[in-house]
Amino acid sequence: MKYYIIFGPPGAGKGTQATPLAERYNLKHISTGELLRGEIAGGTELGKQAKALIDAGSLVPDNIVEGMIAQVFGKYKDVDGFLLDGFPRTLSQAMDLDEMLESRGEEITGVISLMIPDEVVKERIAHRAKCENRADDAREEVVANRIDTYHRQTEPLIDYYRDKGKYHEVDSLGTIAQVGENIRNLVDSLA
């Protein structure tokens, strides 16, 4: 099994790029953000716990997202791998993921890091807020908190994966098609 992580700040284009990428390489796309929004929409206990945190632009507890990830890993057998989007987001999630994979005799194939400046991120999220009905996109201070959370809690993962030789950067400033091509070139070079 292949295990790719699509990585980058909020608004970098992870979700947009993940769908065609997963299709092309027969991967199951797992977006923790989407899974959490599904729980909220379904009114589940987990969704209730997550909602206030997400609406404030903070992270939900590691055990919640890790439980969701483990469930999906167990469920999909006839794919060539998984494409993780929005996970891991903290060092402890990354270490737990490594343990999870190690216990299955597997490892991360590569981290695809979408590179984009904060200013562009803000513009893209403001635009997305008008198209998709996401409460966490609509308020400027929540977006600012998510970007800040990214720099403080998620960016340290870059060194974690770089030290393992698994970190790869892709320019995410072009058109959707151009960025998609940059990503495919990278994935093909890792295969």
Interface with ligand ADP (CB under 6 A): 10-11, 14, 32-33, 36, 53-54, 57-60, 65, 86-87, 89, 93, 136, 146
- What is the per-residue burial (b if ≥16 Cβ within 10 Å, else e) of 117-137? eeeebbebbeebbeeeeeebb
- Annotated active-site residue 104? The verdict is no
Active-site option among 14, 28, 37, 124: 14
Residue 180 near residue 172 (C-beta atoms within 8 A): no
- Residue sitting closest to ligand ADP (CB): 33
In the complex, minimum distance from the CB of residue 20 to ligand ADP, in angstroms, rounded to a whole number:
18
Distance from first CA to last CA of the chain, Å, rounded?
A: 11
**Maximum separation of any 2 CA atoms in the chain, in Å:** 44
In the complex, minimum distance from the CB of residue 159 to ligand ADP, in angstroms, rounded to a whole number:
18
| DSSP letters spanning 30-43 | EEHHHHHHHHHHTT
117/185 with CB nearer ligand ADP? 117
- The structure tokens 């998510």 sit at 146
Active-site option among 128, 162, 166, 184: 128
In the complex, minimum distance from the CB of residue 7 to ligand ADP, in angstroms, rounded to a whole number:
10
- Annotated active-site residue 146? The verdict is yes
Active-site option among 134, 139, 166, 184: 134
Residues paired with 79 in a beta bridge: none
In the complex, minimum distance from the CB of residue 148 to ligand ADP, in angstroms, rounded to a whole number:
11
Residues assigned a catalytic role: 14, 89, 128, 134, 146
